[in-house]
Chains A and B, each alone.
Chain A
């Protein structure tokens, strides 16, 4: 399993739990879950590039 695949799986399952537990209506749960998923994956990509550039 690649690091990116692990990040996507982690973000997927954690976002489901965050969505259900942090919001009250199903519509808001879905929206918050998608929001968390995008933030997880996007922040992982950005931080990866930052670390790559620092390490050069």
Chain B
């Protein structure tokens, strides 16, 4: 026996306008190109490249502002001789490393290039270390925002 979803109380039918004859089914044909494909791609790209998730969703202005802000914070942190956490010796190092890893490719490239200080020697280096960690945390927020845009949780 075949069952039709047309008269069942599915979410799509409940949300459809009364009297409308919309057929539930695959929406891929009506979705824009930015809404197709792997749903976690903007999250991953946004983490690796600051603002990249928004660029992928064609949110150019938001992506540029987010990417510019995060990149500027990271660059200021490096310029202030901030420390890049390399290992986890105690709980504070673990938290610092987690924040730094939020920068994605920026962190990897900086480690490979040998940027950042190993030890905090001056006062501004302490500010710089915080700038780098917070840039990573803000990048994670931006990547999650791109994921929310992708899933439709946010417009």
**Residues of chain A whose beta carbon lies under 8 Å from any beta carbon of chain B:** 1, 3, 6, 9-10, 13-14, 16-18, 20-21, 24
Contacts and interface: CB of A to CB of B under 8 A. Distances in A.
B66 interface: yes
B142 interface: yes
Given A3-B127, A20-B65, A20-B66, A13 B73 contact: yes
A6 to B, nearest CB: 5
B134 interface: yes
Given A1-B80, A24-B154, A17 B124 contact: no
Contacts of B130: 10
Contacts of A24: 154-155
Contact of B66 (A6, A9, A16): A16
A14 B73 CA distance: 9
A36 to B, nearest CB: 12
A1 B127 contact: yes
Contact of B69 (A3, A6, A13): A13
Interface residues of B, number: 23
A55 B73 CA distance: 31
Nearest to A12: B69
A20 B62 contact: yes
A16 B127 contact: no
B131 A10 contact: yes
The 10 residue pairs across chains A and B that have the minimum distance between CB atoms? A21-B145, A13-B69, A17-B138, A16-B69, A6-B127, A13-B73, A20-B62, A21-B141, A17-B69, A1-B124
A10 B76 CA distance: 10
Interface in B15-73: 62, 65-66, 69-70, 72-73
B79 to A, nearest CB: 9
